[in-house]
Amino acid sequence: MTARSSAAQPDFSAGCAFMDGAFMPIAECKISVLDWGMIRSDCTYDVAHVWKGRFFRLDKHLDRFLRGVEKLRMQLPFDRAKLEDVLSECVRRTGLDDVYVSMTCTRGRPPAGVRDPRQAKNTFYCFAIPFVWLATLPQQEAGLHLHVSSIPRIAPESVDPTVKNYHWLDMEMSLFEAYENDANFVVLTDGAGNITEGPGYNIFTYNNGRWATPDRGVLEGISRQTVLDLCRELNVSAQAGQLTETALRNAEEILLTSTAGGVMPVTKLDGKPVGNGTPGPATTRLRQLYWQKHGDPGWSSPVKAA
Ligand SMILES: Cc1ncc(COP(=O)(O)O)c(C=O)c1O
């Protein structure tokens, strides 16, 4: 009898993860309940995406992630080049073309009985799973219904929102409020009449030929930056600055931006139509251009070969 290997190939079709130096099917990737990422939200993460086999603005995601890791005084087990290789390998193993790619660094755990975060060994993991849409395509075609939450966004003086984080309870509870108000999306104020952001997205308003997006109390989203860059290319005015709730309620068009969905039109705000209640022309133009750039080598890059 000939000896044959009976080891089955792992199935990465639902996703591939990397942790502790090894690649594994997503369902096998586990983290300790004692990790401070779990018990203290002491972590930072980033999400990039691959569309039709190409990473979109990966450099910007890596810049933001590495900046966040540094700001939180954490250390990755390897350098940026290796991080990029590991992310690419996760994507390759899934065999998918449209992929959601997440990377996280948590505080990890200090030795038993020690409470000093400086003594913790940080945990890194990342994974690639099928593309995630914040709003389904039919929802995006029709436009989203947005609610302005009564719960203010956590103050930027308390938790730095430019370090992408899991302090989401204000946004999660706001979502419940939105659903109770017949809306499917929510945006939070700063508690002083200014708009910030929502769970997983930034917001833009369009009025008198100008796009505006909040510049304070928000994650500096890569999709938000993309809209600002596209506007520059189109010679359309777009500025990050103060955005009041009143300005939001008077907007001709509203859109949300996220890596998990791109540029998404809002057509109803707290039950009232935005503009004529259908996705506006300025939004539609940006949405088309956003996806068009995914094949452009100036904006996207192929997943690296093994
Ligand atoms: C709180 C928050 N704001 C904004 C965004 C949008 O950022 P990006 O465009 O980089 O996906 C996200 C993405 O997850 C987010 O979590």
Query: Ligand 1 centroid vs 209 CA: distance in angstroms?
Result: 25
Q: Residue 192, Cβ neighbours under 10 Å: how many?
A: 9
Q: Confirm whether 97 is domain-assigned.
A: yes
CATH number at 68 reads: 3.30.470.10
How do residues 266-276 score in pLDDT, each as one tens digit? Answer: 999 999 999 99
Residues 22 and 114 in one domain: yes
Ligand 1 binding pocket includes 134 (Cβ within 6 Å) = no
CATH number at 172 reads: 3.20.10.10
Residues 161 and 240 in one domain: yes
> Quick one: what percent of the chain has pLDDT higher than 70?
98
Residues 166 and 286 in one domain: yes
Contacts of 59 (CB under 8 A, 6+ apart): none
The pLDDT value given to residue 1: 38
Query: Ligand 1 centroid vs 292 CA: distance in angstroms?
Result: 21
**What is the domain range of residue 188?**
137-294
Residue nearest to atom 4 of ligand 1 (CA): 201
Q: Confirm whether 231 is domain-assigned.
A: yes
Residues 196 and 98 in one domain: no
**Rounded average pLDDT over 23-42:** 97
Query: Ligand 1 centroid vs 302 CA: distance in angstroms?
Result: 23
CA distance 212 to 277: 20
Q: Answer whether residue 176 shows pLDDT above 50.
A: yes
Select from 113, 130, 147 the last residue of a domain.
130
Q: Answer whether residue 109 shows pLDDT above 70.
A: yes
Query: Ligand 1 centroid vs 27 CA: distance in angstroms?
Result: 25
Query: Ligand 1 centroid vs 199 CA: distance in angstroms?
Result: 8
Ligand 1 atom closest to residue 225's alpha carbon, by position in its atom list: 9
Confidence band of 288 (pLDDT split at 50, 70, 90): very high
What is the domain count for the chain? 2
Ligand 1 atom closest to residue 202's alpha carbon, by position in its atom list: 4
Residues 54 and 102 in one domain: yes
Report the amino acid identity of residue 176.
F
Residue nearest to atom 1 of ligand 1 (CA): 200
Q: Answer whether residue 44 shows pLDDT above 80.
A: yes
Name the least confident of 7-16, 149-158, 213-222, 223-232.
7-16
Residue nearest to atom 14 of ligand 1 (CA): 200
The pLDDT value given to residue 8: 77
**N residues, the chain:** 306
Select from 130, 146, 164 the last residue of a domain.
130
Q: Answer whether residue 284 shows pLDDT above 50.
A: yes
Residues 172 and 288 in one domain: yes
Report the amino acid identity of residue 65.
F
CA distance 60 to 300: 11
Q: Confirm whether 237 is domain-assigned.
A: yes
23, β-bridge pairs: 18
Q: Confirm whether 81 is domain-assigned.
A: yes
Query: Ligand 1 centroid vs 200 CA: distance in angstroms?
Result: 4
CA distance 213 to 242: 8
Model confidence, pTM: 0.96
Q: Confirm whether 11 is domain-assigned.
A: no
Residue nearest to atom 16 of ligand 1 (CA): 200
Confidence band of 49 (pLDDT split at 50, 70, 90): very high
Q: Confirm whether 302 is domain-assigned.
A: no
Residues 111 and 154 in one domain: no
Select from 130, 150, 178 the last residue of a domain.
130
The pLDDT value given to residue 306: 82
The pLDDT value given to residue 7: 65
